[in-house]
Amino acid sequence: MKAAVYYEVGGPDVFRYEDVPDPTVGESELLVRVEAVSIEGGDTLNRWQGAPARVPHVVGYQCAGTVLEVGVDVTAFAPGDRVVTVGLDGSHAALRSVDHSFAWKIPDGLSTEEAACVPVPFGTADDCLFEFGHLGAGETALVHAGAGGVGIAAIQLAKRAGARVLATASSDDKLERLKELGLDEGINYARSDFVAEARRLTDGRGVDVVVDSVGGRTLQGSLAALAYRGRCVSVGDAGRSAAETLDISGMRPNNQTLSGYFLGAELFLSPRAHAMIAGHLEAIARGELRVVIDRTYPLAEAADAHAYIESRRSFGRVLLVP
């Protein structure tokens, strides 16, 4: 099969478009013909950081397509089913094998391309806001990187839950576009101090929940933006800056909480998360939530697609099509 692979970590130019062996299918696995790959933030981070476990390495968490073959222990899927899948790697390829517990049938009325964008962003956003952030109606949420996949999902979910939604982005244009998805107030972090703005927009009180996918020094600011009993959920390092030692001295007297979150652990350990994501696929198929797709590239142009994401010009998901 064809795949976008690399032999060493680095910038987008490490990608090579090559023939690699077809994946085998285990007893509990599906073999999927990949038709759409949603490039996740973790895909670009994995390409930059740490030696690959094997080479040539096929990166990628999330993709959708059609089932070609199922293992002997698989009963919930059959050849011909349209599915979206999640795994630790392997999405940037023409074929993917994946355990059936990390796959979801695509509902009628939802395109394969849209479905490819759902599990990681919407699952992550939902858990950060509600399972770990305990966001309630009438509270205020601050969503970092609002124009990214998790950000766009979190804005919609928080608004649907009756919260007031603030978000950061790198341009006024992005913030204006986010208003149609439920954004109440935008903060251009390239021009303003987001902590000061979050305080100003809440009359000095601060926000109840922060979804922080940026990390680095931004995480310290997220803690500073919290209200009394506020909850910050750290979900990524999209800023790619080194982790910093956090000053948490203000958290204890304000009864605040900092949580780390990784969707993969929830999917491994909790059937709740799988059912939650299935619900989002159905909601998007019904038109209750939206997926935003910015651009689509051929799989052979994976380097260009990754470079476009890292330019910070994208709004929503960037797809690869084998």
Write out pLDDT tens, residues 277-299: 999 999 999 999 999 999 999 99
Residue 51 burial (C-beta neighbours within 10 Å; 0-12, 13-18, 19+): exposed
* Residue pair 263/236 in contact by the 8 Å Cβ criterion: no
Question: Looking at the predicted structure, is the pLDDT value of residue 219 above 90?
Answer: yes
Question: Looking at the predicted structure, is the pLDDT value of residue 301 above 60?
Answer: yes
Q: How many CB atoms within 10 Å of residue 315?
A: 20
Q: Domains in the chain, please, with CATH?
A: 2-117+291-321 (3.90.180.10), 120-263 (3.40.50.720)
Residue pLDDT, tens place only, 94-134 = 999 999 999 999 999 999 999 999 999 999 999 999 999 99
> In whole angstroms, what is the distance from residue 94 CA to residue 91 CA?
8
pLDDT of 237? 84
pLDDT-wise least confident of 67-81, 96-110, 225-239, 247-261: 225-239
Kindly indicate the confidence band of residue 240, based on its pLDDT and cuts at 50, 70 and 90.
low
* Residue pair 135/158 in contact by the 8 Å Cβ criterion: yes
Cα torsion 172, 174, 180, 186: sign: negative
pTM of the model: 0.95
* Nearest alpha carbon to residue 123 among 102, 153, 100: 153
* Nearest alpha carbon to residue 284 among 88, 102, 112: 112
* Residue pair 3/54 in contact by the 8 Å Cβ criterion: no
Name the token pair of 102: 């990390």
Q: How high is the mean pLDDT of the chain?
A: 96
Mean pLDDT within 260-264: 95
Mean pLDDT within 173-188: 98
| C-alpha to C-alpha distances, 102 to 140, 165, 172, 179, 266, nearest whole angstrom | 32, 31, 37, 33, 11
pLDDT of 241? 64
Kindly indicate the confidence band of residue 256, based on its pLDDT and cuts at 50, 70 and 90.
very high
